[in-house]
Amino acid sequence: MEKIGRYRLDRRLGAGSFATVWLGHDDDLDVPVAVKVLAENWAANDDVRNRFLAEARIMRRIHDRRIVQVYDIGTLEDGRPYFVMDYIDGGSMNDLRKQIIPPAQALRLCAEACRAIEVLHSNDVIHRDVTPGNLLLSRTPTGETRVLIADLGVAKSMVDVAGATMTAGTPSYMAYEQAAGLGPLDRRADIYSLTAVTYAMLTGSPPFPVRTIADIVARDPNLAPAPIAERIGAPPILDALMISGLAMDPNRRPPTASLLADALDGIAAQMEPMTGEATVTTAPPAADQGGPAYGRPAPPVQSYPDDAGARSYPPSQPPGDQAYPPYGGQQPQYAYAGGPPPGPVAVADEPGRRSAAYYVLVGVAAVALFVTSMFVTVLVLR
């Protein structure tokens, strides 16, 4: 396609299972735009079509600089709906996840993401698919870095979320109750995802090596994320916050995204004097009514080789199989209702590593197999 409505198309930005996004240009207003078009194979599916249109309505209804704004909608000649959004040219947080950025800067950006999600929550909407790729970056003319929410294709109103009929989202960042279909969901599902995004931004990979929804449901409820504070030069309270935010029990997570944002900013503030990092200029917490500003792309950062899409920053020795005491051995201000999880806390292995228990089990199985075969052999000889 070369044109949709009055919008001239330049190139395709990306395509997913349900839609394609094009970079276009509004010649009348002389501004770049992003045009999202429903995929042909889903045009006749009423459920998918309604979700597509609902996404546009939510983004249009919420007027906030932290939400990508929709300002036009229409239908192609073949009946497929499309909507037109502001084009955000600073990339996404997923681009930064694969590169080296200072940990304090990552914490500041994740705090901004939390405040953007809080905007949705204050409008009685949960996102249900918070990932680094759905968090876009924009630089304002004053040098502020803004994090904007995009892709609300599976977002639901908290009023009607109990009627959701499908499990949708990205497994690596999905809360247990969402994967298991336990409902109704509330904002704490997004808070789990925000914590997982923060962990991925600090280490290069999500906190748990899950690939499917079944992996999430089968996960040990006492499994805690591998501690990361020491190897990135953060105060120990960071590990306590990660354990709290990634708890299977929603009651153990921070109750609101704004509280999680304040906690992340507090940790970043402690790290900046120790590491000498320059403070990242981000948008102030108070929301305004203007749309997202356009400016320069996000500042360039040093490239980091990405073997399998997940690397640690900075490189360090893995924590091994040592059990990590919940909340650093004390009850911090970021441990919410319910306290630490009952029983021993296991620690998730580093990506690509096996725990000692794994090798012990393999050895026991091998010995058992050998004994069984010898027993059968003796019986046959008799």
Report pLDDT digits (tens) over 21-56: 999 999 999 999 999 999 988 888 888 888 889 888
Active site residue 215: no
Question: 121: closest CA among 183, 49, 66?
Answer: 66
* Cα angle value 248/249/252 (rounded, 5°): 115
Kindly list the distances between the CA atom of residue 2 and the CA atoms of 9, 38, 61, in Å, as whole numbers in the listed order: 5, 16, 29
Please list the residues that pair with 15 across neighbouring strands.
20
Domain spanning 3-86, CATH class:
alpha beta
pLDDT-derived band at 355, boundaries 50, 70, 90: low
Q: What is the pLDDT of residue 23?
A: 95
Q: What is the pLDDT of residue 362?
A: 66
Question: 195: closest CA among 136, 267, 138?
Answer: 267
> Where along the chain do its domains lie?
3-86, 93-351, 357-382
Question: 137: closest CA among 107, 181, 93?
Answer: 93
pLDDT of 253 strictly over 90: yes
Q: Which one is predicted more confidently, 295 or 208? A: 208
Q: What is the pLDDT of residue 233?
A: 94
Q: What is the pLDDT of residue 264?
A: 97
Answer yes or no: are the C-beta atoms of 177 and 185 closer than 8 Å: yes
* Cα angle value 66/69/70 (rounded, 5°): 160
pLDDT-derived band at 377, boundaries 50, 70, 90: confident
Which one is the CATH code of 93-351: 3.40.50.300, 1.10.10.10, 3.40.50.1860, 1.10.510.10? 1.10.510.10
pLDDT of 167 strictly over 70: no
Percent of the chain having pLDDT more than 90? 43
Give the Cα separation of 52 and 136 in Å (integer).
Answer: 20
pLDDT of 356 strictly over 90: no
pLDDT-derived band at 193, boundaries 50, 70, 90: very high
Q: Which residues of 351-360 are buried (b: 16+ CB within 10 A; e: fewer)?
A: beeeeeeeee
Q: What is the mean pLDDT of the chain?
A: 77
What average pLDDT score do residues 286-301 get?
33
pTM exceeds cut of 0.95: no
Q: Which one is predicted more confidently, 55 or 333? A: 55
Q: What is the pLDDT of residue 17?
A: 73
Please list the residues that pair with 20 across neighbouring strands.
15, 37
Most confident by average pLDDT, 48-52, 84-88, 276-280: 84-88
Q: What is the pLDDT of residue 349?
A: 52
Q: Which one is predicted more confidently, 257 or 19? A: 257
Most confident by average pLDDT, 247-261, 264-278, 320-334: 247-261
Of the given ranges (15-24, 279-288, 352-361), which has the lowest mean pLDDT? Answer: 279-288
Kindly list the distances between the CA atom of residue 59 and the CA atoms of 5, 46, 148, 182, 378, in Å, as whole numbers in the listed order: 20, 20, 11, 27, 74
Neighbours of 208 (CB within 10 A): 22
Q: Which of 26, 64, 86, 129 is catalytic?
A: 129
Percent of the chain having pLDDT more than 70? 72
